[in-house]
Amino acid sequence: MIGLDSNVLLRYLAQDDPTQSPKATKIIEGLSADEPGHLTHIALAEIAWVLARAYKEPERSIANIFAQLLRSRSIVVSDEAYVVHALRAASEGEATFADALIGALCFRAGCSKVVTFDEGASRLPGFELI
């Protein structure tokens, strides 16, 4: 198994860099169930942020991309159950994937609530707008 930085998966998805995208494609398409790539939930949060901000991808499109990654036998995702929970919340339009993931991981850690200045995030259960 090899770890995948967010920029490698972004170059693969975007295919927007003539030097880096082919290298990323070779890595990603060379992964297998026997030799998978590992994505942390932190990398996924970075990827979601970049796709939304720089590439203007809608949250539902990002959720679809991540759902495909989770179905892949050649990609292993850290804290998969929490990622799935965050994807569900994001696809239902409650908040962004990153916000929902923050909440899921905070509650796993035993937090009673998550305080935020983000009105969108405050719509998630257990979040409190301050």
Give the pLDDT confidence score for residue 115 in this predicted structure: 97
In the chain, the percentage of residues whose pLDDT exceeds 70 is 98
Residues 54-67 have a mean pLDDT of 88
pTM of the predicted structure, to 2 decimals: 0.85
Residue 90 has pLDDT above 90, yes or no: no
Span 16-60, pLDDT tens digits: 999 999 999 999 999 999 999 999 999 999 999 999 999 999 888
- What secondary structure letter does DSSP report for 78? T
Give the pLDDT confidence score for residue 93 in this predicted structure: 66
Give the pLDDT confidence score for residue 10 in this predicted structure: 97
* Distance in angstroms (rounded) separating the CA atoms of residues 47 and 66: 10
| Structural domain for 118, as ranges | 2-129
Residues 59-78 have a mean pLDDT of 90
Q: What is the CATH number of the domain that holds 16?
A: 3.40.50
* Distance in angstroms (rounded) separating the CA atoms of residues 119 and 110: 23
Give the pLDDT confidence score for residue 64 in this predicted structure: 87
| Domain total in the chain | 1
User: Residue 63 in 3-state DSSP?
Assistant: helix
Contact 90, 47 (CB under 8 A): no
